[in-house]
Chains A and B, each alone.
Chain A
Amino acid sequence: SAVISQKPSRDICQRGTSLTIQCQVDSQVTMMFWYRQQPGQSLTLIATANQGSEATYESGFVIDKFPISRPNLTFSTLTVSNMSPEDSSIYLCSVAPKGGEQYFGPGTRLTVT
């Protein structure tokens, strides 16, 4: 398994601003994943981040809105840019150390007013 931490755990932001979420893992992993979990909805994959390469975004998500950094094998950031109330959600990062099951961080609860 893997131990994952996220910062911040929650935040309240104003419309039009940006928030950067950090994800730290206790071991080196090749791939890190970013998800969004909206109320009453399933977890939706935003992008996959490999160290040393550009993140791969899922349909409906674009780099300008959700830029991702992956500077090393234990850390990644997701920025939610130019926020609107529709971006209010829980954002989760995950890793798959052995390529099978994924392990999730505790999440960042974002509220945009």
Chain B
Amino acid sequence: EDQVTQSPEALRLQEGESSSLNCSYTVSGLRGLFWYRQDPGKGPEFLFTLYSAGEEKEKERLKATLTKKESFLHITAPKPEDSATYLCAVRVTQGGSEKLVFGKGTKLTVNP
């Protein structure tokens, strides 16, 4: 069964305190790994797509990396506005069609 596990479930940081979020996956056929940001009361906002081990993507204070079994979302010198829930999803092929399988997310709180 395709599974995505995110850790930690919640993370509190002080402004400027860098850290990483983890997304580990067990899938039969990975066809892309996606990171999303979700603010309370809103839909997920797309951040990154990674397709192959060793690939990295950056956007402002965020950098996503991918290995064969997990992905990391590194947050450098976070600000309070980075507070959100970060979701990881993998695209897999099941029954001839493609679908996204999501983790439960990591709720990040950045205190000023």
Seen from chain A, the residues whose Cβ lies within 8 Å of a Cβ on chain B are 1, 4, 33, 40-45, 48, 56, 58, 92, 94, 100-107, 109
Number of A-B contacts (CB under 8 A): 49
Please tell me if the beta carbons of A43 and B99 are within 8 angstroms of each other in the complex: no
Which chain B residue lies CB-closest to A41? B104
Please tell me if the beta carbons of B46 and A105 are within 8 angstroms of each other in the complex: no
Please tell me if the beta carbons of A42 and B4 are within 8 angstroms of each other in the complex: yes
Given contacts A100-B32, A101-B49, contact A43 B97 (CB under 8 A): no
Please tell me if the beta carbons of A107 and B49 are within 8 angstroms of each other in the complex: no
Is B105's beta carbon under 8 Å from chain A?
A: yes
Q: How far is the CA of A44 from the CA of B105 in the complex (A)?
A: 13
List 10 tightest A-B contacts by C-beta distance, closest first.
A104-B43, A42-B102, A43-B102, A42-B104, A104-B44, A106-B43, A107-B43, A101-B46, A101-B49, A105-B43
Give per-residue flags for B39-64: 1 if the beta carbon is below 8 A from chain A beta carbons, else 0.
Answer: 00111111001000000000000000
Q: Can you list 23 residue pairs at the A/B interface with Cβ under 8 Å?
A: A1-B46, A4-B43, A42-B4, A42-B103, A42-B104, A43-B102, A44-B102, A48-B97, A58-B99, A92-B43, A94-B43, A100-B32, A100-B49, A101-B32, A102-B46, A102-B100, A104-B36, A104-B45, A105-B43, A106-B41, A106-B43, A107-B41, A107-B43
A100 CB, min distance to chain B CBs, angstroms: 6
Residues of B within 8 A of A58 (CB): 99
8 further A-B contacts with Cβ under 8 Å, apart from A92-B44, A101-B34, are A40-B104, A42-B4, A43-B89, A100-B32, A101-B46, A104-B44, A104-B45, A107-B42
Residues of A within 8 A of B102 (CB): 42-44
Within 8 A of A (CB), among B90-112: 97, 99-100, 102-105
Residues of B within 8 A of A33 (CB): 100
Is B87's beta carbon under 8 Å from chain A?
A: yes
